[in-house]
Structure 1
Amino acid sequence: MSPATRAVLLLGITQIIGYGTLIYAVVLAVPQISDSFGWSRAFGLSGFSLALIVAGLASPRAGRLIERFGGRSVMATGSATAALGLAAMSLIEGPVSYLLVWTVLGLGMAGTLYDPAFATLGSLFAHRARRLITSLTLIAGFASTVGWPTTLFLLETYGWRETYLVFAAVTACVALPLHLLLPRPVQPAFRTSPAAVPGPVTEDAGVVADGLARKRIFMLLAVAFSCAAFQFVGLSAHLLALLRDMGMPATAAVMVGTLIGPSQVGARVLELFFARNVSPLAVGLTSGGVILLAFAVLSLFGVGTPSAAVFAALYGGSNGLSTIVRGTLPLYLFGADGYAVLLGRIARPVLIVGALAPFALGVAFDFAGAWAALTLAFVASCLSCAALCMILVHCRRNARVNLPVAE
């Protein structure tokens, strides 16, 4: 087995564990925790939002550490931190300890989820990172498939304290050792400055050479990814409630929601096999177009089971592509030099905005209705698409080659 294949398999397993225990378990475990202490659901979820904010603040530092020491040690440290936080969750006795534990878990997220995993692959295998990132997201796409049923079984069988002890044990005994098995980073003796590389684009150099253009494109990229995160995280938290409020039966709404996961994986499979010669920027614009089409379907045909099913499929497919683009587009635009640091810097606004999205859509939902919340998500999607279009314009003016460019 090649080092690249081994790295993808190791990271795929650890991403399933990380997302299953740190992200997907929240929707099932937090209500039980809140009920046991008599807290509101809003306060219970505020701990998760705090963790995302902490992860966003810590991500640039994690990126710099990966750039300097490699992902092996950083992700192993992240697993150890996450295991400590998960174990501590089983011991909480009140709101203060609850929020402190989520702070620790936020630090663990910064070192274990997609951004550090993408940065690790980019730093180790820059010349073929795109296909490796896509392959990783295919494996990690099963995190909800594994995480939700497992969490539900543990909660119903043992309770939330014991569930978090099991999560801590799995993280410490499986994810941590697997991260330590990642390839050690290879420090090149010399790396040519991207601005000095002539000829065809490679992932080591990136397509944007001009320094001022790079700064502008970085800001636009942060806007595009943050707005996309706002739309996806916000709707993920409220979509079923929105559909029910607009007249869809609860059973039908849940069935529609089950289409999202398979659509994510399906879109990633299509990208892996049919978009290998398409630039990540073109894939990103396709993702943006798909989500706008999804909103158009609801607007034109109203909320019924067929239209909602089409919306969910398009919504899931768009997010499936967006996750890949979040790892591949920065590498394509800016190159491998400083890639880990760049991902960490981009992750800060993305995670913070994502943490605030459920609250923002919830306020719109409560005070102005379901369509107002959907409109807010639609506006965020439009801003994301607009930012990507502006990146395309800047690239055509400043790129080393004409776009779109095959990898």
Structure 2
Amino acid sequence: MPSDTRPQLPWPARLPFYYGWVVIAVAFVTMAVAVTARTAFSLLLPPLIDEFGWDRGLAAGAFSFGFLVSALISPLAGKLMDRHGPRLVIGAGVVLMAAGQLLAPYISVPWQFYATLGVLVGGGANLATYTAHSLFLPNWFLRRRALAISIAFAGAGIGAVLLLPWLQSIIQSQGWRASCTVTGLLVLVLIGPLVPFLRRRPQDIGLQPDGDTQGNTGQGAPKRGNIVDPDWAAQDWTLARALRTARFWWLALAFFWMTFAWYAVQVHQTKYLIEIGFAPLTAAWALGVVAIVAIPGQVLLGWLSDRHGRELVWALACLGFAISYAALIALEQGPNLPLLYLMVAAQGLLGYAATSVMGPIVAEIFEGPHYGAIFGSITVALIAGGAAGPWLTGAIHDATGSYRLAFLVAILGCGVAAGAVWLAAPRKVRKVPGRS
């Protein structure tokens, strides 16, 4: 009998189903815990301000400072992802986040607050959540790229609805320090053991995108047939070349204003809702429900973007944040449940869908072996927006006694973000599968 000379695939590729969905499942759990750990900063802000008497701008600045540090390391994270894959990058994020949460109960002065819940948690979250996953998940899917990513990112909604109310109850019964300790242990126990399952791309374990076999990209795969601009697509897009294009800077501008709007409301909405008369548990509920209603929004709009284009879904996400800010301004008159529901629905169903198309937008313009370094550099602008939003919103409130001006700035920024992606025009480089 002749011996079987076929190459033996690594063990992940021998599982009885497409390993890409294992990667998506691990990403789902990671997002559920890691994003919630960062989002919980909004729950910690009121008791921290009450205990230490810090100004709102100073307290919110810790979140922003962590984002600024993340911006400095993002290009390095992109290069590390290109060379070593997600296990190193996300594993480092898990260690940093857990350390920050477990050390936070011992803080007593602002610099310790900035170092733990700011730098360690903020920087670690950047290495373990949206940015890091956007660096490698687009490699695993072509035909269902945005849909697959949206399913992974929907984990953030599940984590929020399950964990945020629980963490708020811990804060109320045992204090914010106990909440930090619990969060740090969750990061270690739930994410840590899953990191070894991650791979940068299917080819690393003998597979192809979308589960196709070697040499067969499947019926309808968006290969050469989806290219609109052959000259652009044929370029070997290094970071240096990308930096010399207008598209790179349009994307940087769009990502800056998107995260400005995203994190300004995420950090301040709990304190704001409590101040205008909502109960603390209702305010925590609102923060959690935003994330849970994001689940159908991300999946449906991710599916929509695979059929009708990334620009459309990005614009809808920007509109969602603009509506949520308008509702918050209207809530100045006092508690109003219909307006609260509108704010939650617009922010979650529409706004959070931006995450499902961030990676595909960049991948379809700058696809290639240096995609991680390019996306990591664009992430500097994304993180800068996430840092500027909470800090500037808090500073404007400290100076004026109101959030109104800050909310109006965010609405204007949403318009800029929407227009910038239309100008970057990924549709003019590659068609989405539904239009190929």
Question: TM-score normalised by the shorter chain: which range applies?
Answer: 0.7 to 0.9
In structure 2, the partner of 1:230 is: 260
CA drift at 1:135: 0.9
In structure 2, the partner of 1:161 is: 177
1:292-331 aligned at under 5 Å gives the runs 306=338, 309-331=341-363
Residue 219 (str. 1) matches residue 242 (str. 2): no
Whether the aligned pair in 2 keeps the contact of 1:115 and 1:347 (CA below 8 Å) is yes
Cα distance change of structure 1 residues 324 and 201 upon mapping to structure 2, 3 Å threshold:
same
Cα distance change of structure 1 residues 148 and 295 upon mapping to structure 2, 3 Å threshold:
closer
Unaligned runs of 5+ in 2: 1-16, 207-221
1:155-304 aligned at under 5 Å gives the runs 155-183=171-199, 186-187=203-204, 199-201=224-226, 215-239=245-269, 250=278, 254=283, 260-291=290-321
Rounded Cα–Cα distance in structure 2 between residues aligned with 1:319 and 1:158: 33
Amino acid at match of 2:435: A
Cα distance change of structure 1 residues 162 and 198 upon mapping to structure 2, 3 Å threshold:
closer
Rounded Cα–Cα distance in structure 1 between residues aligned with 2:250 and 2:433: 18
Percentage of pairs with the same residue: 20
SS of alignment partner, residue 260 of structure 2: helix
Whether the aligned pair in 2 keeps the contact of 1:66 and 1:340 (CA below 8 Å) is yes
Equivalent of 1:110 in 109, 120, 126: 126
Residue 332 (str. 1) matches residue 348 (str. 2): no
SS of alignment partner, residue 250 of structure 2: helix
Whether the aligned pair in 1 keeps the contact of 2:227 and 2:430 (CA below 8 Å) is no
In structure 2, the partner of 1:347 is: 379
Rounded Cα–Cα distance in structure 2 between residues aligned with 1:206 and 1:389: 20
Whether the aligned pair in 1 keeps the contact of 2:310 and 2:427 (CA below 8 Å) is no
Rounded Cα–Cα distance in structure 1 between residues aligned with 2:433 and 2:374: 22
CA drift at 1:68: 0.5
CA drift at 1:219: 0.7
After TM superposition, the structure 1 stretch with the greater mean CA deviation from structure 2, 283-292 or 227-236, is 283-292
Whether the aligned pair in 1 keeps the contact of 2:146 and 2:360 (CA below 8 Å) is yes
Whether the aligned pair in 2 keeps the contact of 1:297 and 1:310 (CA below 8 Å) is yes
Rounded Cα–Cα distance in structure 2 between residues aligned with 1:302 and 1:260: 20
Whether the aligned pair in 2 keeps the contact of 1:31 and 1:41 (CA below 8 Å) is no
Whether the aligned pair in 1 keeps the contact of 2:290 and 2:345 (CA below 8 Å) is yes
Amino acid at match of 1:250: F
Residue 137 (str. 1) matches residue 164 (str. 2): no
Rounded Cα–Cα distance in structure 2 between residues aligned with 1:228 and 1:201: 27
Query: What does the per-residue CA deviation read over 1:279-305, in whole Å, with 9 as the maximum and x for residues that have no partner?
Result: 223322333345556678899999765
Rounded Cα–Cα distance in structure 2 between residues aligned with 1:34 and 1:244: 13
In structure 2, the partner of 1:60 is: 75
After TM superposition, the structure 1 stretch with the greater mean CA deviation from structure 2, 292-301 or 33-42, is 292-301
Whether the aligned pair in 2 keeps the contact of 1:75 and 1:116 (CA below 8 Å) is yes
How many residues are matched? 392
Rounded Cα–Cα distance in structure 2 between residues aligned with 1:295 and 1:14: 29
CA drift at 1:125: 4.6
Whether the aligned pair in 2 keeps the contact of 1:82 and 1:171 (CA below 8 Å) is yes
CA drift at 1:53: 1.3
Residue 387 (str. 1) matches residue 420 (str. 2): yes
After TM superposition, the structure 1 stretch with the greater mean CA deviation from structure 2, 11-20 or 235-244, is 235-244
SS of alignment partner, residue 378 of structure 1: helix
Whether the aligned pair in 2 keeps the contact of 1:123 and 1:339 (CA below 8 Å) is no
CA drift at 1:133: 0.6
Cα distance change of structure 1 residues 275 and 198 upon mapping to structure 2, 3 Å threshold:
closer
Rounded Cα–Cα distance in structure 2 between residues aligned with 1:389 and 1:382: 11
Rounded Cα–Cα distance in structure 2 between residues aligned with 1:379 and 1:142: 30
Provide the alpha-carbon RMSD of the alignment.
Answer: 3.8
> TM-score, normalization: structure 2?
0.76
Whether the aligned pair in 1 keeps the contact of 2:146 and 2:305 (CA below 8 Å) is no
Rounded Cα–Cα distance in structure 2 between residues aligned with 1:169 and 1:188: 31
Equivalent of 2:85 in 46, 70, 75: 70
In structure 1, the partner of 2:400 is: 367
SS of alignment partner, residue 380 of structure 1: helix
Query: What does the per-residue CA deviation read over 1:42-96, in whole Å, with 9 as the maximum and x for residues that have no partner?
Result: 4333222211111121111111101101102221122122222222223334333
Amino acid at match of 1:66: M
In structure 2, the partner of 1:376 is: 409
Cα distance change of structure 1 residues 234 and 29 upon mapping to structure 2, 3 Å threshold:
closer
Rounded Cα–Cα distance in structure 2 between residues aligned with 1:405 and 1:335: 19
Cα distance change of structure 1 residues 168 and 306 upon mapping to structure 2, 3 Å threshold:
closer
Query: What does the per-residue CA deviation read over 1:329-387, in whole Å, with 9 as the maximum and x for residues that have no partner?
Result: 11222224322222211221211221121232334445285543332112111111221
Rounded Cα–Cα distance in structure 2 between residues aligned with 1:36 and 1:292: 33
Amino acid at match of 2:101: L
> TM-score, normalization: structure 1?
0.81
Amino acid at match of 1:406: R
Amino acid at match of 2:405: A
SS of alignment partner, residue 306 of structure 2: coil
CA drift at 1:220: 0.3
Cα distance change of structure 1 residues 176 and 200 upon mapping to structure 2, 3 Å threshold:
same
Unaligned runs of 5+ in 1: 190-196
After TM superposition, the structure 1 stretch with the greater mean CA deviation from structure 2, 297-306 or 165-174, is 297-306
In structure 1, the partner of 2:167 is: 151
In structure 2, the partner of 1:48 is: 63
CA drift at 1:183: 3.6
Rounded Cα–Cα distance in structure 2 between residues aligned with 1:169 and 1:242: 29
After TM superposition, the structure 1 stretch with the greater mean CA deviation from structure 2, 365-374 or 60-69, is 365-374
